[in-house]
Amino acid sequence: MTESGRRDMISRRNLMLKAGAGILTASFAPALLQAQPAKAEAISDITPDGALKKLMEGNQRYIEQKRTFPDQARSRIVEVAEGQHPFATILACSDSRVAPEIIFDQGLGDLFDIRVAGNFLDDVVLGNMEYAAVELGVPLLVILGHERCGAVKAALDGKAVPGHISTLVAAIKPAVDTTKGVQGDAWDNAVRANVKINVNKLQSSSPILAEAVKAGKLKVVGGRYDLDSGKVEIIA
């Protein structure tokens, strides 16, 4: 092959490589653009009532199996990597059947989750709640119990339990005691009482949260999740 022929072949090869690179760039451009960091959302100005409405609308979608799976795209991952601005704090039981993001049809960065078997208050839980209210400006706090809670049943049975499980039972026992002799299902009565006792206890246990409630910056409610229907009922 002559020198001129080799130069022509190299030129054609370079041209083909450039064209291929252009095609690849065009193909990946949408994905690259989608992966660009979204501008971090400022602290939400959603009201406490607005936050509760948003939460309950999500639960209704879940019940009707019309979930929208919000805030779960790649762009949301990038966005919340810069900071979190949840609109609700949920104190829920550790029970595997009561996952807040699922039952309220929410996504990444939407809920500040605190989970402990029996959904009761202690100093660690209160510290988490205060952090969410003061540092993150979360306008809604929900204490969420659920139907047929195993921790409540253990307190109701009153039998000896091993290890640190006794700590859970002792924390829930006041709810059991207040419902003795009350008509209806003893187990569900205790579940509901446990939620209400902790809602009432919360403000007296934390001046920080009490002040936020008084200032209208925070709304505190208690709810019961029905394992059979998927419905969250506000009971306090």
Structure tokens at 101: 């993001």
| pLDDT (mean) for 28-44 | 39
Q: What integer pLDDT is reported at residue 82 of this predicted model?
A: 96
Residue 38 has pLDDT above 50, yes or no: no
pLDDT band (50, 70, 90) for residue 203: confident
Percentage of the residues of the chain whose pLDDT score is greater than 90: 81
Residue 10 has pLDDT above 80, yes or no: no
* Alpha-carbon distances of 111 from 124, 145, 223, rounded to whole Å: 18, 16, 15
> Helix, strand, coil % (nearest 5) of the chain?
50, 10, 35
Among 208, 209, 194, smallest CA distance to 48 is for 209
Q: Quick check: helix, strand or coil at residue 185?
A: coil
Report the C-alpha gap between 122 and 224 in whole angstroms: 20
Q: What integer pLDDT is reported at residue 44 of this predicted model?
A: 58
pLDDT band (50, 70, 90) for residue 45: confident
Residue 76 has pLDDT above 70, yes or no: yes
Report the C-alpha gap between 7 and 13 in whole angstroms: 10
Report the C-alpha gap between 56 and 70 in whole angstroms: 14
Q: What integer pLDDT is reported at residue 7 of this predicted model?
A: 47
pLDDT in tens, 150-184: 999 999 999 999 999 999 999 999 999 999 999 99
Report the C-alpha gap between 227 and 142 in whole angstroms: 17
pTM recorded for the entire structure: 0.82
Say which range, 1-15, 73-87, 123-137, has the weakest mean pLDDT.
Answer: 1-15
